[in-house]
Structure 1
């Protein structure tokens, strides 16, 4: 039931984000303005929240009928302490990015974060390494070269990555 309320909260947050983004000023020289990216994020919140709420309702309806007959014989397993660490990892990753990206650079920091998250999800190490490097490189190029968003270069490699022009 908690996922249902979380999903609905994400839908409400998405709607609030879209409504707020529509109030941003538009630029006459561009077809899109500063409201585009927040609107996309808000739409993602709405879609993800709606899917989470619908999935919760779908699973609840599907499980309730067979569960009524076997409810007395089933016991819930105690939750492991690993789920608490899994819940703390995204905020820790954000704080790590804030502090480490100035020194390591955005691309290396993103690769480290993705690698750690994949290893925590029991991904094969070589797959996690290759995937995290490729995805970090793609994100870096999309943001820095196509969207023209300056990302931290880091002082570790003297402000520039040797293999990037």
Structure 2
């Protein structure tokens, strides 16, 4: 039931994000303005929340049908266990906030992606390659194309040798 409420919460957050983003000023020289990226994020929240809610309801219905088949006296499924999968993403966000100024954005994202992939029981070499490639892509898209300044970190002297 927590997934249903979380999904509804994500949909509400997405709607609020889209409504707030539509109030941003528009630039007459561009076809898109500062509201584009927040609107896309809000739309992603709405879609993700809907998928999460529908999936949770479908799983609950499936578990209830299976429980009734196994033992007709049971009408509900046992409660879900809270695992690391629910706790680690917020911890990863706090880790990024605290560590990115020292480690740099790219290295911090690599560590977070690698640990999340290992949590989902991905093979180590696949997790390492994927986290390095995707973190590099995310870093270069944000820093070079979207021109968002990301922390370089002081661990390697404030700049990474392969980043210009």
In the superposition, the TM-score normalised over structure 1's length comes to: 0.85
Q: How does 1:115-134 map to 2 (within 5 A)?
A: 115-134=114-133
> How far does residue 63 in structure 1 lie from its aligned partner after superposition?
4.3
Structure 2 residues not aligned, in runs of 5+: none
Would you say how many aligned residue pairs link Structure 1 and Structure 2? Answer: 162
Partner of 1:2: 2
Tell me which residue corresponds to 1:34. 34
The aligned residue for residue 163 of structure 1 is 162
> Structure 1 regions of 5+ residues with no counterpart?
none
Q: How far is 1:60 from its partner?
A: 3.7
Measured in 2, the distance between the counterparts of 1:66 and 1:100 equals: 46
Tell me if 1:11 matches 2:11.
yes
Aligned to 2:59: 59
Change over 3 Å in CA distance of 1:66–1:104 after alignment to 2? closer
d(CA) in 1 for partners of 2:140 and 2:80? 44
SS of 1:161's partner is coil
- What CA distance in whole angstroms lies between the structure 2 residues aligned with 1:12 and 1:87? 20
TM-score by length of 2: 0.86
Give the distance between the partners of 1:26 and 1:101, measured in 2 at CA: 32
| 2:71 is the alignment partner of 1:90 | no
3-state SS of 2:155 partner? coil
CA shift for structure 1 position 57:
3.1
